[in-house]
Amino acid sequence: MGACRFFRRPQRARLYRLRPSEKQPRRLFQTACAYGRRAKSGTIAVFSTPVFAMLHKDQFADNHFIRTLIEEDLKSGKHTAIQTRFPPEPNGYLHIGHAKSICLNFGLAYVYDGLCNLRFDDTNPEKESDEYVNSIKEDVQWLGFEWAGEPRFASNYFDQLYDYAVGLIKDGKAYVDDLTPEEMREYRGTLTEAGKNSPYRDRSIEENLDLFTRMKNGEFPDGSKTLRLKIDMASGNINMRDPVIYRIRRAHHHNTGDKWCIYPMYDYTHCISDAIEGITHSLCTLEFEAHRPLYDWVLDNIPAPHATRPRQYEFSRLELLYSITSKRKLNQLVADGHVAGWDDPRMPTISGMRRRGYTPEGLRLFAKRAGISKSENVIDMSVLEGAIREELENSAPRMIAVLNPLKVTLTNFDPDQAQSRYAPYHPNHEEMGGRELPISPTLYIEADDFAENPPKGFKRLVPGGEVRLRHSYVMRCDEVVKDADGHVVELKCSLDYDTLGKNPEGRKVKGVIHWLSAEHAVPATVRLYERLFTEPRPDAVRGADGEYLPFTDFLNPESVREIQAWVEASANDLPPESRWQFERLGYFVTDRRDHAQGKPVFNRTVTLKDTWQAKV
């Protein structure tokens, strides 16, 4: 196991420091009013995010082919240090696939003591905005990482990119083309047929320079001309058939404003940006493998911007079952009102998963388990949920909540005998402290914990039977009260005051149930979330005619259910994004948007166990 360190060196791929004003790291678990001791009934123990998030080198994917390549490069002296980058386009919110890429790029920089840049590949002005820039920065920091220096923007390199394009024209390696998009597709050819040269391919260098300058100066309409590389229209790789590297597009840019009316294409911009920044290992998903020859061609045909020459490597894209990651389809879910926004807790966006209560540590653990390879990377949702569940089991303090309450009246309640009971916040972390659970003549228990006609193996409360109240006494059910329709509405029970901390003599009580004092509990809104889709691959289901069915046909109508529940009184004072285990029920978080003091709102993060397979 690698050593655990606080990654604090300036200008390195260090962990995001959540509270820069605090100099020393603290324990992971803290309380505002009761640290490692008993909290009085009604007080709230606030378990804050650690002042410094902590990383272990073994938190990142084990040895894989990219790590092998990096180690070979370092051993051979090809590179003395590594530099990676995470280069999202600011045209949407990051999702679970981006989380894997973030963990890979920043994780490699951490493991090999290198640097990782955050660069926005912002070459499509109509689709990009500062809203997405800010959300991406927030997501990366929330995941626990900090980039080297200031965030970079491809648009900051537009002047250099233009100069390199002029140089390519002067070298006879680029030309201005007047073909329309439709004509260009016709001339490009197919996978089995070579393309044809454009009739404008042999323009003189002087004419191309003049036309490109006039393109930049705004003398031509949008889409009327492009700048193309002069490579090989007969290449077996369509990406090498004179690709377009500039197009005319009058659009306001979030970073450069209205300075430019021509914009470079991604394939041209990306490799040069990598080279300018001294990136050593440019990591992309497999769909860019066929673009690598173009990446190398561009860098081979311009003056080297940096002493370090980047190289592109590809790995498989993450496919998470019961989910989708297409930005277009995610946007459709939002636009059509199927979800309540990009941070809806059912969405696979990082902001959605954060709101649902997923933790950065859990997502990093998932990224490690997903692994890095070139083979198909299809991961079941249960793997993600399992990683989150495992992390929360260790870190989440405990709370009692009753989601489906059944009233219990204690017929022998004696205030002189009935004692409040101490309950720890975590069974394995004494340092988290605990609180007192008050008891009163009326309790709430889960309706599911009582059965008038119990099935075989039922070990909870039955008429005339006994159960242990968690952290408290043994209780016997003496009478069942029903309404006019025959529904059970109340139980009349009695406590055995001699069973506090011990079993009753001569009786074996197997069942333990949770409970709340009706006098002290407070109401809360609880949202029970399930998977958004009922099909593992909702966008890959074909109908009888062989055509793909709309992915929205497989939305889960029961993906969210809102109920009114009862929780411990301390929930009234919790801040948003407080993660808890509701004992015996699952992991929950106070909602990032809707939770307020005095009006608690909880989202279910995951159940205690994987129950989905039993439902499908």
Per DSSP, the three-state class of 127 is: helix
The distance of Cα 54 from the centroid of its chain, to the nearest Å, equals 18
Confirm or deny that 100 is annotated as ligand binding. Answer: yes
Hunting for tokens 């300036």 — which residue is that? 10
Sequence-ordered list of residues with C-beta below 8 angstroms from that of 77, at least 6 positions apart, any chain: none
Q: Which residues of 336-346 are buried (b: 16+ CB within 10 A; e: fewer)?
A: eeebeebbbbb
Q: How far is CA 460 from CA 110, 449, 472, 493, in A?
A: 50, 6, 15, 14
Q: 90 a known binding residue?
A: yes
Identity at 276, one-letter amino acid code: I
Render 495-557 in DSSP notation, one character per residue: EEGGGTTSPPTT-----EE-EEETTT-EEEEEEEE--SBSSSSTTS-B-TTSPBPPGGGGB-T
Ramachandran sector of residue 604 (left: φ over 0; alpha: ψ -120 to 50; beta: rest): beta
Q: Is 359 annotated as a binding residue?
A: no
Residue type, 577: E
Give the CA distances from residue 526 to residues 282, 587, 590, in Å, rounded to whole numbers and listed in that order.
Answer: 44, 12, 9
What DSSP letter does each residue of 52-87 carry, written as one string?
A: B--EEGGGS--S-HHHHHHHHHHHHTS-SS-EEEE-
Q: List C-alpha distances in Å: 55 to 59, 111, 362, 384.
A: 7, 10, 12, 19
Phi, psi of 113 (to 5 degrees): 60, 40
Pairing of strands 434-437, 38-39: parallel
Q: Which residue's entry shows tokens 């004696």?
A: 414
Residue type at position 514:
H
The single-letter DSSP state of residue 111 is: H
394 marked among binding-site residues: no
- Tokens standing for residue 39: 């909290």
**How far is CA 359 from each of CA 8, 116, 144, 391, rounded to the nearest angstrom?**
21, 22, 10, 8
Per the annotation, does 511 bind a ligand?
Answer: no
Tell me if 89 is assigned to a ligand binding site.
yes
* Helix 381-395 / helix 360-370 crossing angle, nearest 10 deg: 140
* Beta strands 474-482 and 488-496, pairing class: antiparallel
| Residue 79 known to bind ligand | no
- Give residue for tokens 């951490």: 110
Judge whether 98 is annotated as a binding position. Answer: yes
Point out the residues that are catalytic. 89, 317, 327
> Does 266 belong to an annotated binding site?
yes
318 is in an annotated binding site: yes
Q: Is 319 annotated as a binding residue?
A: no
**Does 224 appear as a known binding residue?**
no
Q: Do the annotations mark residue 300 as ligand-binding?
A: no
Task: Please state the residue numbers annotated as binding site for ATP.
Answer: 89-91, 95-101, 285, 317-318
Task: Please state the residue numbers annotated as binding site for L-glutamine.
Answer: 121, 266
Task: Please state the residue numbers annotated as binding site.
Answer: 89-91, 95-101, 121, 266, 285, 317-318
